[in-house]
């Protein structure tokens, strides 16, 4: 288990108040269901871009982040600047990390995919060079470098999908920490409400005007195939567009 910092407050310059919208859009209507009140949070500005190149940083502490299931690490660069990064497993307080083209293959270091050997686990991966990492950021997730082909690197994602990424896209070595998150037990309905999650009502418990599963005698429902509240098929239906431009980059589909 990682020893989290609980005595000190988060770095003030790297935090901002996170506004709560409770799933409502600009018109005030609910566009995302099952969201409600929650405790006040501070948003931690995490450096997904890792654009401070060729400067070493030392890990000062590892912190809990209420806005994600992964932990974050506060690092301080040699010029005195501090930033938050995602905390990968086996990265400890006092370790040094760096983002560089020819960085060592050490947990926490960031470098282009083209310079990472086959078989290495990576996370925080860019889809476009210079965009900042947007792939593989959840607790315990990782992608493996399985092959290199010209301008592209083949990565196997946690879902089982094998996908091509341009070799100039950056990634961070190691898998995201807090692997134990999947075993966490919420424990009470009240804690769920404090997290901002409202109750979910079964479709069969609703009336037929509110949900396709509603109505019928007793608890039978309509006896049809699983559907969303808007009548769309809920299981087994492919929703990805067959004409999507990035289909050519997917070599193997994810597991069903």
pLDDT digits (tens, 9 = 90+) for 188-224: 999 999 999 999 999 999 998 999 998 888 887 666 7
Q: Which residue has the tokens 């050519």?
A: 248
Domain for residue 196, yes or no? no
Q: What per-residue confidence (pLDDT) applies to 105?
A: 97
- The full length of the chain comes to 256
Give the domain CATH number at 153: 2.30.30.30
Please state, in angstroms and as integers, the Cα–Cα distance from residue 131 to each residue in 34, 52, 195, 228, following that order. Answer: 31, 14, 30, 34
Angstrom distance (rounded) from CA 66 to CA 178 = 13
- Using CA atoms, how far residue 228 sits from 75, 174, 215, 231, in Å, is 44, 38, 15, 5
- Identify the pLDDT of residue 256: 66
Q: Is 194 contained in some domain? A: no
Supply the pLDDT for residue 32. 95
What stretches in the chain show pLDDT beneath 50? none
248 burial type by CB count under 10 A (0-12 exposed, 13-18 middle, 19+ buried): exposed
In a domain, 147, yes or no: yes
248, part of any domain = no
Q: What pLDDT is recorded for position 187?
A: 94
On whether residue 168 sits in a domain, the answer given is yes
Within a domain: 234 = no
**How many domains does one find in the chain?**
1
pTM exceeds 0.75: yes
Q: Give 56-69 pLDDT, tens digit per residue.
A: 999 999 999 999 99
Question: Do the domain assignments include residue 93?
Answer: yes
Q: Give the pLDDT score at 215.
A: 87
Residue range(s) defining the domain that contains residue 115: 12-180
Q: Please report whether residue 140 resides in a domain.
A: yes
Task: Read off the pLDDT of residues 154-169 as tens digits, 9 standing for 90 and up.
Answer: 999 999 999 999 999 9
């Amino acid at each position: 288990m990682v020893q989290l910092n609980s005595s000190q407050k988060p770095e003030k310059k790297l935090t901002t108040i996170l506004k709560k919208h409770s799933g409502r859009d600009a018109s005030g209507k609910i566009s995302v269901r099952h969201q409600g009140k929650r405790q006040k949070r501070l948003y931690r500005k995490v450096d997904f871009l890792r654009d401070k190149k060729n400067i070493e940083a030392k890990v000062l502490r590892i912190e809990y982040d209420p806005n994600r299931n992964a932990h974050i690490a506060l690092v301080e660069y040699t010029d005195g600047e501090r930033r938050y990064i995602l905390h990968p497993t086996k990265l400890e307080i006092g370790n040094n990390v760096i983002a560089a083209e020819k960085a060592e293959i050490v947990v926490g270091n960031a470098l282009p995919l083209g310079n990472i050997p086959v078989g290495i686990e990576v996370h925080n991966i860019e889809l476009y060079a210079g965009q900042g990492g947007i792939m593989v950021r959840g607790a315990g997730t990782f992608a493996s470098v399985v092959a290199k082909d010209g301008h592209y690197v083949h990565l196997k994602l946690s879902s089982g999908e094998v996908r091509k990424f341009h070799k100039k896209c950056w990634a961070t070595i190691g898998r995201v920490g807090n692997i134990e998150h999947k075993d966490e037990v919420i424990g009470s309905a009240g804690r769920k409400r404090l997290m901002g999650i409202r109750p979910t009502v079964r479709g069969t418990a609703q009336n037929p005007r509110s949900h396709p599963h509603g109505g019928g005698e007793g608890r039978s429902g309509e006896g049809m195939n699983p559907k969303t509240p808007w009548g769309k098929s809920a299981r087994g239906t492919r929703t990805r567009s067959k004409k999507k431009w990035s289909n050519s980059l997917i070599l193997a589909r994810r597991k069903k």
